[in-house]
Amino acid sequence: MHAVTEKTISLPSFTLSEGGESGELEISCCLWGEVSKPLVVVMGGISANRWALDSMGHSSAHGQSGWWRSVLNPASYLNPRDFSFLTFEYFAFADRVANPPLVSTMDQAHILAQLQQSLNLPQFCAVIGSSYGGMVSLAFAARYPERLQHLICVAAADRNSVKSQALRSIQRQIMQMGLDAGGSCQQKYTALARSLAMLGYRSDAELESRFDADDPVSSLQQVKSYLNHHGSKFAQTFSASRYAQLSQSIDHHRVDASHILASTLLIGITSDQLVPVEFIQNLHAKISGPSQCRWIDSLYGHDGFLLEAEAINQIFKHYFSEYNHDPIEPNHRCASGY
């Protein structure tokens, strides 16, 4: 486990990219390790939080398990001895706000830039984003090219497929039924929407190998139990309003990749149904800076960014070994100098 400093940063209101005002914000974030070392931003999917690494020495998060601890740990290339890390919570309007304005991935990128400025942090050695975080990382690199050296985008592209948009639209309709019903029904319908999402996160091959049985009644019961478990677990900590807002944020995600100048590594998963290989190949062709693609053959589909730690670690090691990072010099340029 690793020492962490948790902070809540007050940020001024700003005009959202799709219209409307954010209002004054309170953004929770974590700084891991010594910021004098190369600083890496880490962002995950919509359900990810600021606890990406295992934590210790912090009263409110003692023993907290990090959602990417299999990738960021002492045995990995990106380890807390050689690097420091910044993580933060995505912004969404409070549940009590009726018909909230759209919060785009560009708005999340703006918040990251404001955190960098407010905390007087150095130029980021790398901004690493997976899934929704990958979309935010692309938006950040396109809008703030001078604020990072490297962009690493995992299982995300500059736009989303029509199929994935359709799936999310159905999920939001399900959640709206729960909101209309009110009371305890909200959590039930949020769980159902998340269960549907799980079918998109995992590959057909995994589901067939995991739940195929000679008895169709048995296989159906197994997969229903699996989906219900993950849906209920998600709904216990994630409100329908936050889920719907971040879902819409994904649908409206668009980035002009020609504005990306940083050295870029794109990682795709060949079995990913939500972010097909051709979307990442098309993104690669649009990036203006030096870029490369690496592919992971995984049984787990989109969720490979969480479950293929060994492959991801090897890709990171190979990528960063191409660069000679001085552990101190890159951090002499602080955010206040931008």
239 with 314, same domain?
A: no
Residue 64's pLDDT is: 66
The answer to whether residues 196 and 110 belong to one domain is no
Residue 177 and residue 239 in one domain: yes
Global pTM?
0.94
Residues 272 and 284 grouped into a single domain? yes
For residue 213, give its domain range: 162-249
Same domain, 25 and 83: yes
Answer yes or no: is pLDDT of 214 > 90: no
Q: Which residues are the active-site residues? A: 131, 272, 302
pLDDT reading at 182 higher than 90: no
Total domain count for the chain?
Answer: 2
CATH code for the domain in which residue 311 is found:
3.40.50.1820
Task: Tell me, yes or no, whether 140 and 279 share the same domain.
Answer: yes
| The pLDDT of residue 141 | 98
Percentage of residues in the chain having pLDDT higher than 90 = 86
- Predicted pLDDT of residue 322: 87
Q: Please check whether residues 89 and 31 belong to one and the same domain.
A: yes
Residue 31 has pLDDT above 70, yes or no: yes
Within this chain, do residues 281 and 259 fall inside the same structural domain, yes or no?
Answer: yes
Do 134 and 200 share a structural domain?
Answer: no
Sign of the CA dihedral 28, 18, 275, 294? negative
- 213 or 32, higher pLDDT: 32
Domain check: are 227 and 267 in the same one? no
How far apart are the C-alpha atoms of 262 and 280, rounded to whole Å?
A: 17
The least confident of 36-40, 56-60, 193-197, 320-324 is: 56-60
Domain boundary among 249, 264, 295: 249
Please give the pLDDT value at position 329.
47
Please indicate whether residue 331 or residue 75 has the higher confidence score (pLDDT): 75
- pLDDT higher than 70, residue 334: no
Residues 68 and 128 grouped into a single domain = yes
